[in-house]
Structures are given as structure tokens and as C-alpha cells.
Structure 1
Amino acid sequence: MTLLPFDPESWPAPLALVGGSVRDALLGRQRSPLDLDLVTPAPALDLASRLARKLGAGFAVLDAEREIARVILADGLTLDIARQQGKSLETDLQRRDFTINAIAYSVNTRKLIDPLDGQGDLKRRQLRAISEANLRDDPLRILRAYRQAAQLDFTIHSETREMLIRCAPLLKQISAERVREELAYLLACERGADWLLTAHHDGVLADWLPELKPLETIGPSGYHHLPLLEHTLEVVRQVDQAATDLADWLGDSLEKSIVGQRTIRHLTKWAALLHDIAKPATQRRDPETDQLLGFPSHEIVGAEMTATIFQRLKFSKEEERWVSALVRHHLRPGQLSNYDPPSARAIYRLFRDLGDMLPALMVLAQADRRATLGPKVTEEVLTRASQLTEMLLSRYLTPDDPMAHPVPLIDGRILMAELQLSPGPQIGKLLAALQEAQAIGEVQTRDQALALARTLLKT
């Protein structure tokens, strides 16, 4: 394992690589960015500080009490160096989460240390907990089991699964921020939706996403070939494929960061998970036959529920705004495609209301469509929806498109001067009405805009 950016033989203190870097090297997996975890029986803070000076790298103390420090190199590589816990390296490894993460590589002797047969579990492609006590010591490991199973495409050992179910109530002790980050990692995995569903069925999400449970009560329908919970997870699965379908229009726009490493793609997956979250609460049934009549305003109630969930998980206000808006408007592309052609006013209002969220909305709508294949979904419906998607994205990506990106004919200053108006909410309402009229072609000049403003003032 030639992972280290320095010669370990030049260091008198014993060092061992541990954790994910060893596991992934044994699996032949590429890690990007590369982060390495090392343990040493020597004073770790002093060792890390000396190493940072030698390499001309950055240095930060992560946990002074437990002696954990980070060395940050210019190429993105990070080295986390920790003081060995216990009298021996084997004792330290016994305190970790899963056997596959409890394999060490001595950089001094260049030998593997594997006291728990982690290599055997790697060959069996299974996740096995070291002990239930270790899960209880840090309950976030419960959720991490499902994430790592998704990440590595492993199974979870049956006894470990029983431990996870028993320990699931302990997750409510974990901070919202840590749970949020683990859920983010899970959703980013190719098989994340599958393991999110398993975690839900195991009761692991009961305290953090209790809104998923009522989704189990809604079955398939004329448009939906899947029960609601399975449909929801299928939409999450389809987000990446929808992005691939639309790649010619999207470019790398979904990879734009909103907060930290959480991108528009990630938030779109959250919107997929929550887009129908209010259907159980808004369902209407015939009082005599119990026939399902629909879910009126479920997108509006769903946006409110999304805001509550995002506040619970301590997302930023900007992330809450994005995902609530995607949930609030997720029906609109489908509604527009019901008209042939849709009105110019409806198209403009979609551009106006979504702004730079429009590409993400179209990915969400495409994913929803791919997961909605009931008997009432016809080829004609799918064709119209596809044509609408291409038209909207094409116009959005045209910088001078008069409907997607109208340039106002007049501004508030001109409006107040010409019509002798005082500042106030009325100015904003007039400008909004004029911009809509301009976008749909009702006014084309400054004089026409002022004439319409005078007419609007009289009504």
C-alpha cells in the first residue's frame, strides 16, 4: 500500500493505517478525495505537527482530549492522526464499528493486522458489527451500517441486522447534524434508495423521518403501478437516470454546491424522497365506497412538511428553500404537458416562479415520470411530457429568450416618474404585471408598457 506521501521509515514512532483507506485498498476501490486515518501509540498531536512542518502542509487539532489532529496537503489529501486507544493496536481495532473497518496496515512492518477476520467479511461482501456495545457507544454507527452496505454493495450479516433493529431507538440521541450528513452519504449512493427503504422497515428512521411511515397506507392506482412508499423510493432511484437523460441540457449544473458538499443533485434526491410526503394527510375518499378520490393540495402541504423536516435535520435556510420549492412545484411540468400547447402565460409563470431551480425541477419531474407507469399512463402522455421538458430546458438555456429571461422595458424609477406614483407595494405589483405582459407578447415597447400600467391603475 503506497498511499502515504512520506517515507514512514524516517519516523521513529510506529504508525498504522486504519479504517476505510485499508478496506478500500483491499477492495481495489478508488477514493476521491483521498483521506487517510492513522493511529500511533506516540503523542499524536506532536507527531502530526512535525509531519505537517516536514511536508509544508496545513495542521489542525480535531480533538485535543482524544489526541486527534489533521494534516492537510495541497493536493486535497488529508491525514487524520490519532492516539491509539488502549494498550495495543489490536485493542484499538476492537473498539471500531465493523470488522471490515478494523483492519490495520503497519506502515513500519508493512504487514496487515486483522484480529477480527475483516478480510473474510470483505470476501463474503458482508457487513458485520464487532459488538452491540460498540454500536451503543456511538449510535450513528447504526445508520452508517446501511450507508456502507449501499456504498460497497454488501449485505448486512443477520446477527448485525438484529443488533441494528434493537439499537435503533438510540439514534434519537445523536445530533441532527450528524444524522443529516449520514443520510446525505446514503442518498448519494447508487443503491441508497434500496437501503434507505431497508432502514425504514427496520425502524432506524422512525425518530428522524416518521413521515415515511404513513406512505405505507397508500396502494397503487391508475397512474401509479407501485404503492406510494415504493414509488417514492423509485423516484429517488430515477433521479440519476433522469439527469443522464437530460445531460445535453444540464451540463454540470446539478453539481453546483448549495452548502458545503451538498449539491443541487443531492437536494433533488431529497425532493424526490419528499415530493408525495403529504398524500396520506390530504387523501380524499368517497364516504360510501371508500374509493380514493385524490390528494388535493398535497404539493402545498408537502412543501410545508418538507420545511419542518429540514428544520428538524438542521439544513440551512437555502437548502430548505430549494427543496420546499421543488416539492411545492413538482406537479407543474405534468400539468403543463396536459395542454397542447400550454399557454404562454403558464410557461412564463413557471420560469418566473422557479428561476434557477428549473433544471432541478425538470429532473425531478422526469424521475417521477419514470417511476409512474400505471395503466392510465399512455405513450401520448409520455411523448407530450418529453417534448415539454426539451422545450422548457432549451428556452431556459437561451440567455436572451424573452420568456425565460425577459429584460424589463421599464423599471420602478421610470414608473414612478411617468405616473407620478410614490414608492410602495403597488410599484412591485405593477412591474410584475408588466413583465408578464411583456414575456407573453402583449407589450413590446416602453410606451405600450406605460399605457398598460395606466390602465391597470384604473382597474
Structure 2
Amino acid sequence: MLRMGSVQRNFQKTMPQLTSLLDAIPFAPADWPGPLALVGGSVRDALLNRTRVPLDLDFVCPGPVAERARVLARRLGAGFAVLDAEHEIVRLVLDSGITLDFARRQGADLVSDLARRDYTVNAIAWDVHAGELFDPFDGRGDLTRRTLRAICEANLVDDPLRLLRGYRLAAQLDFAIEPATRAWIGLHAHRLAAVSAERVREELCALICAPTGADALLATYRDGLLADWLPEIAPMEAIGPSGYHHLPLIEHTFEVIRQVDGAIADFAEQVRADMDRQVTGGHSVRTLVKLGALLHDIAKPPTSKLDPASGRMSFIGHESLGANMTRQILQRLKFSRDEERWVAALVQHHLRPGQLAAHWPPSNRAVYRLCRDLGQMLPALLMLALADRRSTLGPQVGQDDLARAVELTGRLLGHYYTPGDPLAHPRTLIDGNGLMAELDLKPGPRVGQLLAAIQEAQATGEVTGREEALALARTLL
């Protein structure tokens, strides 16, 4: 814990928001020889009374950094890693989950370092030894005004990821981007193409999951920042409203993203743990559902076809082509294979819950097949489908359709979260080895086909035991 001197204690009286942050620093000023300042997001969030869990603290100091940080890591029993050897940026990770990043100060003094940062609200620093707050660009004033303002145009150009970060910060903090700053972002939007896919991916994921992420992402698109990374979005502008969709396709897409959190909240008791779970690659299922929302209709423009007689537009096969396009997009952004598989499956199957609701009540066979095909992805698909339904309010959609979508979601989640449910989790009547032994079969695709037929017949009540399963298999040979 940071041991407060008289200057820090006096400062706490006028800036009490920093108290908990300073108390969380797990070492005393004397443990770090030489100047040291706490900077960036942790100071900003403390001044806004925002809690960060786990805590991530960023420090700057004159060099040398690495050796001092190694000594501190040993003292704290923390893990140590070099993030950037050239700029002397290192990370300490404590068992408590707290992360400490130390970077060599850029420039002759602390103010010079802060002058190189992106936005004024991120250019506020606390001098650990002097107990003094540095705010040379009125970042606190912008916090009060709830405004995101760039320090200068050159700083945005220096690292073009800062262009996209502006929208992410505005969405997370619920701030407005200052007009001159937004003009600079639009002017230099093309520079985002030079940033690595991994860095763009992480900003996009953080943005889309922010409370106002859908609105910020739409603004990001409108200002040209997605032109190189998601060029597939622009053709969606050509698709207007229809009998089912009250919004043009581009606006419908972002409305679906908005509706995802509400769908999850309505079924939070059942799905929250699954939505918060991370898949291989490090992103939560909730993030993947929102990416699925962004991409679920991505193939409507290339599959659109106008019927001259009725004047209606059709998009036959857009879910299958959309799944292929989704794989390409996620590969472009360097998502993991597992994340790519999840989002592509959500796009591929996003129509199926609606198809079940249209043939009410759904048959056991249809429910079984959906559970079988989606497996652990079923709750994610249901959240996407419900968000999609709530975003589709054209004149051909009635209140009964919306109520049925909610009822279907609850019914399917009930199957999924019931252990041993015969439709979602049917017990095995006979396995492949048993089937081959009983019917004198050799290994091959036919065995899998027979097992699939047995399991479906079991789900629909056509077979209930091993002998009936074998009898069915014999009739299929």
C-alpha cells in the first residue's frame, strides 16, 4: 500500500476520488528510487469515480526502468515481463490481479511526456513522490464537461490507432467528441489502414461492448474509420426498409447490436455466466454475439434480388454466404480460429430460431436439431436472434411475433440448461463401437450416420432403448 505523506493527505481533502486509487498502489514511494508518476486511464477513472477491476496502473519515470522494475517485482513477488525493450516498457503482474506497467518517460520532464499523449483526459498524472497532480491540458475540465478532446492533431497522426480509440473512449465514458477533434479524426481516418490488425481488433471489441458502443461504432463507420478494415459494411447502405424491417439495413444492423444487452438482461439468470465466459482468443461470448449482430446480414447486398411482379426484395442464401464472409473478415482482423468458428456459426444459423417460431409450436425434431447443431453456442444464438427480432418492426411484424420470440427463447434455454434433457442432452443408447460389434460394421461415415439417426429418433420418442436403437439401425442398412 502507498504510504501517504502530508502532501498526499492534504491533497485527498480536495480530491477525495483519488484516495482509493492511491491506497491500491501496492508499494511505497521509497521502493522506487527517483521520480515516478501515475498516469493515464487509472487517474482519469478515479477522478470520474469509475472502478476498474482488475486494477491496471501505468507509471512513467526517467530511465533506467527495467532493472528497477525487476527489483520491485522481486520485492512484491510479482511476475515480470518486458513489453517493449526499445522504449523500456515493462509489466508486473501481482497475484491479486493488479497489473503495474512502467515506461520510460518521453521528453525532458513529466509535462513533456504528457504532451505526447492522445486525449487531455489521459494526460493527467499524479507525482508519487511529490504528492502533486499534473494537469497541463485541462483534462479535469474536460472530465467535468464530459468531452473528449485531442491534445493536438499531430498526436493522433503519430499513432493512428488513437483515431479509433477516441470513439472507444467516448463510448465507454459516455463523452462527446469535441468538434475539432472529430474533424481531425475524419481527416486522417485513412491512416488506420496502417495499424496492425491485432491492435484494431482489440479497440473494435472494446468499442462494441461499451454501453453506447453501437452508436459509437456507427459514428466510426460514418467518419470513414472502417473503410479499409470492414469494407463490406458500405454496400449495406443500398438496402432500404421492407415489410419486415422498419429500418434501412445499415441502421437495422446497428440496432441489433443495441438490442443484444437487453436480450441478455432479460435472461440474465440463465445466460450471464455463459455470456461472460471467454473462448479461446480471449474475448467473451457477449463480444462474439455483438460481432455476430454486426455481421449477421453482411451478405444481403450480394444476394439481393428484386421480384419485378411483387416489388419485393429477397436475400436467399445470405446466411450461408454471410458465414463465409464473416470468416474472411475475422481472419483479416486476426481473431482466433475458435472465435471465427463461433461468429460464423451465429451468422450461419441466425434465422433458425425465427423459423421455429414461425411454425408454432416447434416440433421436438426441430428443437433437437437446433440444439444438436449449435451445442454450447445455443444461448449465444438465441440472444442474437432475439435482438434481431426486436430490431425488426416492419408492418408485417405483429406483437404476437415478438411475444412468441421471447417464449421460444425461454423454452429453448429451458431445454439447454436442464441436465439430461432428451432434446438438448439426450443420453447415449449405443456408441459406435457397440453398433459396429452388433451389426458387424467397419469404421466409416456410415456408422456416424446411423448414430445420428438413432439419436434423432430417440429425441422424438421413436426409440427408447438399446434394442429399439439397433432395430432402427438394421432398417437403415
Aligned to 1:429: 449
The structure 1 residue matched to 2:299, chosen from 268, 275, 278, is: 278
Aligned-pair CA distance for 1:384:
2.2
Aligned to 1:443: 463
TM-superposition CA deviations, 1:9-56 (whole Å, max 9, x none):
454401111111111122121111111111112411122122222222
Q: State the TM-score, normalized to the length of structure 2.
A: 0.93
Aligned to 1:452: 472
Aligned-pair CA distance for 1:172:
0.9
The structure 1 residue matched to 2:64, chosen from 43, 60, 66, is: 43
Q: Does 1:212 align with 2:212?
A: no
Aligned to 2:378: 358
Which runs of structure 2 are paired with 1:97-246 in the superposition (5 Å)? 97-246=118-267
Q: Structure 1 CA distance, aligned partners of 2:332 and 2:33?
A: 48
Query: Are 1:165 and 1:204, in contact at CA under 8 Å, matched by a contact in 2?
Result: yes
TM-superposition CA deviations, 1:362-398 (whole Å, max 9, x none):
1111111121112211122222222222211111111
Aligned-pair CA distance for 1:261:
3.7
Q: Give the direction of change, closer, same or farther, for the CA distance of 1:110–1:63 in structure 2 (3 Å limit).
A: same
Q: Structure 2 CA distance, aligned partners of 1:73 and 1:242?
A: 36
Q: Structure 1 CA distance, aligned partners of 2:349 and 2:301?
A: 18
Query: Are 2:148 and 2:170, in contact at CA under 8 Å, matched by a contact in 1?
Result: yes
SS in structure 1 opposite 2:188?
A: helix
Query: Are 1:33 and 1:76, in contact at CA under 8 Å, matched by a contact in 2?
Result: yes
The residue type equivalent to 2:292 in the other structure is A
Alignment gaps of 5+ in structure 2 = 1-17
The residue type equivalent to 2:240 in the other structure is G
Alignment gaps of 5+ in structure 1 = none
TM-superposition CA deviations, 1:202-240 (whole Å, max 9, x none):
000100011111111111112111111111111111111
Query: Are 2:31 and 2:72, in contact at CA under 8 Å, matched by a contact in 1?
Result: no
Aligned to 2:287: 266
Aligned-pair CA distance for 1:293:
2.8
The structure 2 residue matched to 1:33, chosen from 50, 54, 73, is: 54
Aligned to 2:397: 377
SS in structure 2 opposite 1:37?
A: strand
The residue type equivalent to 2:147 in the other structure is Q
Q: Structure 2 CA distance, aligned partners of 1:182 and 1:104?
A: 23
The residue type equivalent to 2:474 in the other structure is R
Greater alpha carbon shift after TM alignment, 201-210 vs 361-370: 361-370
SS in structure 1 opposite 2:207?
A: helix
Q: Structure 1 CA distance, aligned partners of 2:466 and 2:95?
A: 55
SS in structure 2 opposite 1:105?
A: strand
Query: Are 2:319 and 2:350, in contact at CA under 8 Å, matched by a contact in 1?
Result: yes
Q: Structure 2 CA distance, aligned partners of 1:450 and 1:21?
A: 64
Greater alpha carbon shift after TM alignment, 6-15 vs 99-108: 6-15
Question: How many residues matched?
Answer: 456
Q: Does 1:254 align with 2:275?
A: yes
Aligned-pair CA distance for 1:260:
4.9
Aligned-pair CA distance for 1:142:
0.7
Q: State the TM-score, normalized to the length of structure 1.
A: 0.96
Percent identity of paired positions between Structure 1 and Structure 2 = 61
Aligned-pair CA distance for 1:333:
0.6
Q: Does 1:8 align with 2:29?
A: yes
Q: Give the direction of change, closer, same or farther, for the CA distance of 1:12–1:450 in structure 2 (3 Å limit).
A: closer
Q: Structure 1 CA distance, aligned partners of 2:309 and 2:382?
A: 39
TM-superposition CA deviations, 1:319-372 (whole Å, max 9, x none):
111111111111111100111222222111111101111111111111111211
Q: Does 1:413 align with 2:455?
A: no
Q: Structure 1 CA distance, aligned partners of 2:463 and 2:25?
A: 66
Aligned to 1:346: 366
Query: Are 2:281 and 2:339, in contact at CA under 8 Å, matched by a contact in 1?
Result: no
The residue type equivalent to 1:376 in the other structure is Q
SS in structure 1 opposite 2:91?
A: strand
Q: Structure 1 CA distance, aligned partners of 2:42 and 2:184?
A: 26
